[in-house]
Amino acid sequence: MAIRKVGVVGCGLMGHGIVQVAAQGGMQVVAVESDKAALERGLGRIDKSLAKLAEKQVEKGKSTPEQAKAFVEKTRGLIKGTLDKKDLADCDLVIEAIVEDLAVKKALFKELGGLCKPSTILASNTSSFPIGEMAAASGRPERMVGLHFFNPVQLMRLVEVVRTDRTDDDVFAQARAFGEACGKSPVSCKDTPGFVVNRLLVPYMTQSLLMLERGDASAEDIDTAMQLGCGHPMGPITLTDYVGLDTTLAILKGWVERYPDEPAFEIPKILERKVKEGKLGRKSGEGFFKWDGDKKA
Ligand code: 3HC
């Protein structure tokens, strides 16, 4: 069975990108949000991103203005926004991209397990929670995988495809094929904390914040060091702003609670303090740096 119709629950930072790349891959997409304003914001982001991609295609001489316009219209035409989860019932694949809260995610998967057709594959874009727990809540653990995309979804070429002990081989193969159809390179991962990328990346970001907290170096110098010394596209402090301080904290809190003996999982006080102050990074206009829209102020 090929995946033709995809549902995405949550149209925020990650969700809107997943909706977009699935539509760019030629699939019909149902984007679900909990309120009208959030849905409009998500669809607005997709419009902006598609316009940017189209502009670049023309600039680089890869498309004529007419072809670029047709690409935007075709992609946008495949996306339907809704506030009603029942619209997911006939999707071949439903991907969850909601708040990083395990109880909320489990409740959603229980609901999806009840309302989607029996063949629907369920997937979570979680950064850090066990797929197995959500799979059990769904009531169809053999049809559940993790599909972990990276921010910004439109530009990052990786998707981690996570299988549990109970994931069906065919479901796993279909999930990988879906990732490829979205233009991504899939890597297979077991259901372990942080899978591959975040298990390495989040402790690295944590170390950079602890360094900042100790006053070993400034935020600017830590970032410059990793950009120029290691060729990273952005330094770890900017990357924390980019991922979201609240998201980073939620990942770490979950891990510290679940794996108290793992020394790599530690919560920097500076991170907790910033989140308390509402400084969440790029999305709130300030984190460790100040932001003006997508760019540093
Ligand atoms: N849609 C379309 N175009 C976009 C876009 C989007 N969403 N976002 C950026 N672009 C465009 C920009 O407008 C820009 O276009 P231009 O060249 O015409 O001006 C172009 O892409 C390049 O972007 P920038 O000028 O902002 O700068 P960069 O060249 O630095 O590229 C970046 C940005 C791709 C984000 C790069 O800095 C990068 O790779 N950073 C690292 C990101 C990363 O590590 N992500 C993973 C985070 S971890 C994660 O997601 C897991 C989670 O679970 C925690």
Smallest CA separation from ligand 1 atom 30, residue: 233
Tokens of 207: 């170390």
Scan for tokens 């372990």, then name that residue.
Answer: 192
Radius of gyration of the chain, Cα coordinates, nearest whole angstrom: 19
pLDDT computed for residue 1 by the predictor: 66
Q: Rounded CA gap, 68 and 77, in Å?
A: 14
Digit-by-digit pLDDT tens for the chain (297 residues) are 689 999 999 999 999 999 999 999 999 999 999 999 999 999 999 999 999 999 999 999 999 999 999 999 999 999 999 999 999 999 999 999 999 899 999 999 999 999 999 999 999 999 989 999 999 999 999 999 999 999 999 999 999 999 999 999 999 999 999 999 999 999 999 999 999 999 999 999 999 999 999 999 999 999 999 999 999 999 999 999 999 999 999 999 999 999 999 999 999 999 999 999 999 999 999 999 999 988 899
Say whether 175 sits in a helix, a strand or coil: helix
Amino acid found at 85: K
pLDDT computed for residue 228 by the predictor: 98
Q: What is the pTM of this model?
A: 0.94
pLDDT computed for residue 294 by the predictor: 82
CA distances 131 to 8, 127, 168, Å, are 17, 10, 14
Closest CA to 162 of 199, 123, 198, 109: 123
Q: Which residues pair with 286 in a beta bridge?
A: 281, 290
CA distances 112 to 39, 93, 147, 148, 189, Å, are 19, 11, 16, 19, 24
CA atoms in the 13 A half-sphere facing the CB of 188: 10
How many other CB atoms are found less than 10 A from the CB of residue 80?
16
Say whether 118 sits in a helix, a strand or coil: coil
Secondary-structure breakdown of the chain: helix, strand, coil percentages, each rounded to the nearest 5: 50, 15, 35
Q: Rounded CA gap, 109 and 115, in Å?
A: 10
Backbone φ and ψ of 116, nearest 5°: -85, 155
> Longest Cα pair distance anywhere in the chain, in angstroms?
58
Q: Does the Cβ of 155 fall within 6 Å of ligand 1?
A: yes
Q: Does the Cβ of 234 fall within 6 Å of ligand 1?
A: yes
* ω into 203 cis (within 30 of 0): no
Tokens of 42: 């998500």
Q: Rounded CA gap, 218 and 157, in Å?
A: 31
Mutate to test the pocket of ligand 1, among 43, 52, 208, 227 (most ligand atoms within 8 A of CB): 52
Say whether 229 sits in a helix, a strand or coil: helix
Q: Does the Cβ of 156 fall within 6 Å of ligand 1?
A: yes
- Number of residues written out for the chain: 297
Q: Rounded CA gap, 127 and 193, in Å?
A: 9
Q: Does the Cβ of 293 fall within 6 Å of ligand 1?
A: no
Smallest CA separation from ligand 1 atom 37, residue: 233
Element (H, E) at 96: strand 93-96
Amino acid found at 32: V
Number of H helices, E strands in the chain: 11, 10
